[in-house]
Amino acid sequence: MKWRITLLAILMISFLGVYADNVSVELIPNEINVNVGETFNLDLVVKNVPEDTKCGGFDAYITYDSSLLNLTDIQLSDVANSANLKDISVEDGKISLMWFSNNPYGNFTIATLTFKALNEGSGVISLSKTAMSDTNGFHIEPLILRNSNITILKPKSDLTVTNISANLKAYEENTINVTVGNVGEVDASNVSVDFYVDSEKIGSETIDSLKVNETKTVTFTFTPKEEKNYTFVAVMDPNNEIDEKNESNNKFVKVLYAVEESIALGVVSTSSVKTGETFTVDIKLDNITDKRPAKGLDGVLVYNPDVLNCTNFEFLVNASEELKNVTFEKGKVTFSIMDGNITKPTTIARATFKAINVGSSVIALTDTVVSDINGHKFNKIITNATTVTVEGPDLCIENISVDNPYYMEPAVVKIKVSNKGHANSVETFNVHLYIDSEDLGVKDISNLSVGTTKIIEFNWTPTSIKNYTIVATIDPTVDENTSNNKLVKIVTITERPIALNLISSTNLTKTDETFTVDIKLDNIADKRPAKGIDGILLYNPDVLNCTNFEFLVNASEELKNVTFEKGKVTFSIMDGNITKPTTIARATFKAINVGSSVIALDGVAISDIDGYKFNKIVVNSATVTVEGPDACIEDITVENPYYREPAVVKVKVSNKGHTNSTETFDVHLYIDSEDLGVKEISNLSVGETKVVEFNWTPTHIKNYTIVATIDPTVDENTSNNKLVKIVTITERPIALNLISSTNLTKTDETFTVDIKLDNITDKRPAKGLDGVLVYNPDVLNCTNFEFLVNASEELKNVTFEKGKVTFSIMDGNITKPTTIARATFKAIDIGKSEIMLSDVKVSDANGYKFNSVVVNSAVTKVEGPNINVQVTVNDPAIYRINNSITVTVTNNGHKDITIPFDVRAYINSEELGNATIGSLKSGESKTVTFNWTPTELRKYTIVIIADSSNSIKEEDEDDNKVVKTVKVVEIPVFIKMYKALENGNSITAKIEVGNINEKRPVGGYDLKILLKNLTVVDVKAVGISNWSVSNNTLFVSGYNISEIGNFEVGEITFNITNSTYSAIATDVKLSDTGGHKFLKVCIQNGIINLGDIKKIIKIDNETEKSIKDVNLIIGDEFNITKLTLDTEDDITIPIVGKNITINKTVIDTLREVKEKAKKIN
């Protein structure tokens, strides 16, 4: 042990010390919370030892409260194990080390200390007698010591209520399920649970034992007195008798709505009788159960006394006479009965009626009051009426139609009347027609047999363009149903359009030639003949002259009128009866000059033979060209359309006419209304093109409007003598690129960065450059900056500041890519520096600023360690199942990491957990795993951060953080209900659940099954279960299970009451063992009545015979019908809003497609 003395002697060799800034000895982590009996680790870390002194010796004692803790192990790090002398004592908490070579410096770990927590309490694990020397034996001082605070907790239970569930029915006794658990660290016993409804305590239960992570269900009963929301509260350990880790989760509050089940009062009778016959009507109370028996019933039975007479009313349930009451009045029977205990669907009473006249009567119940055995009124009563017809004729207006529904044209209104009754009509009755309340007349119909139809016609001429209301009525004296004796129809009246067309004998002529233009009236018919026409014929008098105008229809001269003026002819004619397309008039024109003229009609008025104006007239004009040259500006183009650069505007002019142009005419150019000049064009032959050029330098970055015009004196078409074009002027971008001689260097090494001006041309030379070169002064230092272009010294300027170099140069004429300057840098510390330019200004040779300057920076790293984080997580992640987040941390730098650093995980800004990595060599990777169970179907943001306190100097601090967005989905589960056995009038159905992930077992279920023509005999279900039937609906619920994969929920035995039966599970709720609902549930129903499917899908008889099985598949967002044929083919049909058809043709086509699909490679 002599070396110990030597070590201490060296550490204490002198009272003189070596000063070192910020050297520390730390116990990490500095805050620890553990439970009694647990073990934990602390790292003993040294930080910031200077490289020039290094560490030669280390001595420390670890002190702590031995009544709370016990130090069980000291594991030296690789750095400590490399010491030449070592003295370690777990019993004394002593660590003494000395290095004679390979002395450590910077940040490094000495040892990992392992402790065991003995008793509850808190204290400090301290560093005492801690000393450190350099390689010469001098103290390194001052030393900063950082101790670790320890809190030891006693393990406790943690009682929690996680759910309150019930299918709550008003006025019925309900079982309330309360799910409780223990999420603590020790088991609990004799746990009390109190239960409250709307602040009133209704019960208390005691649970014998509740183990760690165990859940149990406690049940209470409650009868709601009305339909409303009730607030249920469950409280565990209400008197705080059990010491818990968390007392705040012992209470659970849930609001549940108590729904009152509806009952039905139906009136059951025959649908038709004959006069003099009697029949009965039953009043039946349905959807009643023994869970809420009925006691009394009051109501009024109403009917049509003109058709029926009630001759008797008797009650069919037992009750003393004083509790029965019946009163007869005309058209109604008032009744009441107070029985006692009606527990199932029951016929309450029977009324006897006699048919006294032909007609129809609704028999219905009004003012009904039903009370239960507790005197509470049933609030939800569905009453169903019946209609009885006393047979006779049923005269009906089936339809109103209008032939030729046009303004001012004769129309025919047709009324279709039929007899849909049970007897022939032998009387004569009237058919009245009204249009917009105006009586259009009356006609008779006689002797209309059953099933026959007659049509009555009325003549009518609409006088307005609008919607008309047409009403037809009939008035038979003997009729089964008078509700169909009137029909109302809206008819839209429009006007039939006519046309006036100008038809020229030619569209191309020569000077002094003549041609004709006909005015033709089209789309006219004898249903509405035309009588007169007025109008003005317009033309271009500089090109044409109208020499004659003659009418081509017969009319007396006094009814014709023609007036000639320059450029127009005004005309009118009143003929009498134009019943077909007709040429009204002909105008003769002479061509007097080269040019183009539109010949058109204006001020046109046409009247029909009754003097009414035609409102819809389509007028089509004609265009005639007199041959000559046609000088045209075809295009304007701009070469080199860039800001402050010389551009050329080219105007393209051509002759598209019929003769050569022998004159000289001007081409004017205007840019944004500024006259850019005029140039001449001479002798432009037919088909020839000439291009005129103008020089222009754009002075703005914008859209310019360029206008070119020409002014020939002889031209066929002057409309193309002007062209307007929008030209976009942009600035040609230049670039300033920073080019570094290296992107990776070492401390104290130097490198250069060139500033290069690119994309510059002689079309716009550069003259001057100003800017600031910025960099990270903690990593680099700029030692020199020199310009590489010629300029006088007074036009150069360079200023050095910390982290930036401000420079400017005014040269003169830079016409090509050029390196402007070179900066020299020295690496002073580990890290990364972006070297970039800011506040850059480049001016051209005329002193104008370049506005579009692209600046590209450079990045240089100084070698050191570098933490890189990569994250692997399921995407999508699975709802309510543990998803591992794997974090791979790599040191892709050039130096080792020797001190611990943290890795933290956050989910939506909340910390999920953290871990510590003790050391990481260059090129080494380590993996950290975090467990995460998503509780919502949504997108989550996962953030992983390494070295959150930036305690490690790195080449690049930007890759320590990873952000990922992960979508959470749920694995869909499947429920299948199918017929397992059929025996006579009994069937057995099975319900199976599938695709349950082993990490998320099913813990409970609630099923709602709609029944048709089935009664429930028995239900056998897994777990603690109960079932009930109400309103033809079976409810099954259960809990206290833990099932995965595929399993059977239950077996149901039914009695069949009619062959058209079905059982459809419409609402299925599954919960996991934690009480959380499965959200994606797909239900496959296999007990389906094909007749119900045929209500929405048309299936022919041949196809129906081949259907082997029917399934209805219900999901969150879909309903699908699956038909299985006897050939084992399946037809899958989505439920649609309109009828679809499945027949032999459809099936054959599907099979053909299927066979062709098999052959596709």
Q: What is the Cα–Cα distance from 647 to 695, expressed in whole angstroms?
A: 6
Do 28 and 165 belong together in one domain?
A: no
Task: Answer whether residue 1089 is part of any domain.
Answer: no
Do 380 and 304 belong together in one domain?
A: yes
Do 899 and 927 belong together in one domain?
A: yes
Task: Check residue 1155 and give its pLDDT.
Answer: 74
Confidence class for position 8, pLDDT limits 50, 70, 90? very low
CA distances for 347 relative to 288, 328, 387, 1015, angstroms: 12, 20, 19, 19
Task: Check residue 1142 and give its pLDDT.
Answer: 74
Q: What is the pLDDT of residues 1012-1030, one digit of tens each?
A: 889 888 899 998 888 888 8
Which one, of 394, 419, 398, lies nearest residue 472 by Cα? Answer: 398
Task: Check residue 303 and give its pLDDT.
Answer: 97
Q: What is the pLDDT of residues 312-339, one digit of tens each?
A: 999 998 888 888 899 999 999 999 998 7
Which one, of 812, 805, 766, 758, lies nearest residue 786 by Cα? Answer: 805
Contacts of 479 (CB under 8 A, 6+ apart): 358, 359, 392, 393, 394, 395, 421, 485
Task: Check residue 1137 and give its pLDDT.
Answer: 46
Share of the chain above pLDDT 90, in %: 75
Task: Answer whether residue 1056 is part of any domain.
Answer: no
Task: Answer whether residue 1059 is part of any domain.
Answer: no
Does 12 score more than 60 pLDDT?
A: no
Task: Answer whether residue 194 is part of any domain.
Answer: yes
Give the CATH number, domain containing residue 272. 2.60.40.680
Q: What is the Cα–Cα distance from 412 to 458, expressed in whole angstroms?
A: 6
pTM score, whole prediction = 0.55
Q: What is the Cα–Cα distance from 288 to 1149, expressed in whole angstroms?
A: 50
Class of residue 459 by CB neighbours under 10 A (exposed 0-12, middle 13-18, buried 19+) = exposed
Does 163 score more than 90 pLDDT?
A: yes
Task: Answer whether residue 1030 is part of any domain.
Answer: no
Do 585 and 680 belong together in one domain?
A: no
- Among residues 969, 1003, 1035, the one where a domain terminates is 969
The number of folded domains in the chain is 9
Share of the chain above pLDDT 70, in %: 96
Rg (CA), the chain: 51
Give the CATH number, domain containing residue 692. 2.60.40.10
Confidence class for position 1122, pLDDT limits 50, 70, 90? confident
Q: Which residue has the higher pLDDT, 815 or 1157?
A: 815
Q: What is the pLDDT of residues 584-598, one digit of tens each?
A: 999 999 999 999 999
Task: Answer whether residue 1031 is part of any domain.
Answer: no
- Among residues 969, 991, 1019, the one where a domain terminates is 969
Task: Answer whether residue 1035 is part of any domain.
Answer: no
Do 275 and 248 belong together in one domain?
A: no
Does 308 score more than 90 pLDDT?
A: yes
Task: Check residue 1025 and give its pLDDT.
Answer: 84
Provide the domain limits for residue 209.
Answer: 159-257
- Among residues 136, 153, 170, the one where a domain terminates is 153
Q: What is the Cα–Cα distance from 1000 to 979, expressed in whole angstroms?
A: 28
Do 342 and 407 belong together in one domain?
A: no
Do 16 and 140 belong together in one domain?
A: yes
Q: What is the pLDDT of residues 376-427, one digit of tens each?
A: 999 999 888 999 999 999 999 999 999 999 999 999 999 999 999 999 999 9
Which residues share a beta bridge with 631?
A: 655
Average pLDDT on 210-233 reads 93
Does 14 score more than 50 pLDDT?
A: no
Do 7 and 148 belong together in one domain?
A: yes
Task: Check residue 321 and give its pLDDT.
Answer: 83
- CB distance 649 to 706 below 8 Å: yes
Confidence class for position 182, pLDDT limits 50, 70, 90? very high
Which residues share a beta bridge with 325?
A: 336
Q: What is the pLDDT of residues 100-113, one digit of tens each?
A: 889 999 899 999 99
Q: Length of the chain, please?
A: 1161
Q: What is the mean pLDDT of the chain?
A: 91
Confidence class for position 9, pLDDT limits 50, 70, 90? very low
Task: Check residue 11 and give its pLDDT.
Answer: 39
Do 12 and 134 belong together in one domain?
A: yes
For 367-406, give the secondary structure using H, E and C. EEEEEECCCCECCCEEEECEEEEECCCCEEEEEEEEECCE
Tokens linked to 569: 């002819």
Task: Check residue 16 and give its pLDDT.
Answer: 46
Confidence class for position 1118, pLDDT limits 50, 70, 90? low
Q: Which residue has the tokens 């910031």?
A: 48
Contacts of 717 (CB under 8 A, 6+ apart): 595, 596, 625, 630, 632, 657
| Lowest mean per-residue pLDDT among 525-529, 554-558, 706-710, 839-843 | 554-558
Does 980 score more than 80 pLDDT?
A: yes
Letter string b/e over residues 394-433, b meaning 16 or more CB atoms within 10 A of that residue's CB: bbbbeebebeebbbbbebebebbbbbebbbebeeebebbb
Task: Check residue 330 and give its pLDDT.
Answer: 96
| Lowest mean per-residue pLDDT among 350-354, 475-479, 514-518, 1106-1110 | 1106-1110
Do 105 and 143 belong together in one domain?
A: yes
- CB distance 987 to 1054 below 8 Å: yes
Confidence class for position 989, pLDDT limits 50, 70, 90? very high
Which one, of 304, 298, 384, 412, lies nearest residue 349 by Cα? Answer: 298
CB atoms within 10 A of CB 57: 26
Task: Check residue 1161 and give its pLDDT.
Answer: 52
Average pLDDT on 257-266 reads 90
Confidence class for position 1117, pLDDT limits 50, 70, 90? low
Do 456 and 377 belong together in one domain?
A: no
SS3 957: helix
Task: Check residue 634 and give its pLDDT.
Answer: 96
Q: What is the Cα–Cα distance from 1115 to 527, expressed in whole angstroms?
A: 61
Do 305 and 372 belong together in one domain?
A: yes
Task: Answer whether residue 1046 is part of any domain.
Answer: no
- CB distance 498 to 522 below 8 Å: yes
- CB distance 1016 to 1052 below 8 Å: yes
Task: Check residue 18 and give its pLDDT.
Answer: 60
Average pLDDT on 607-617 reads 93
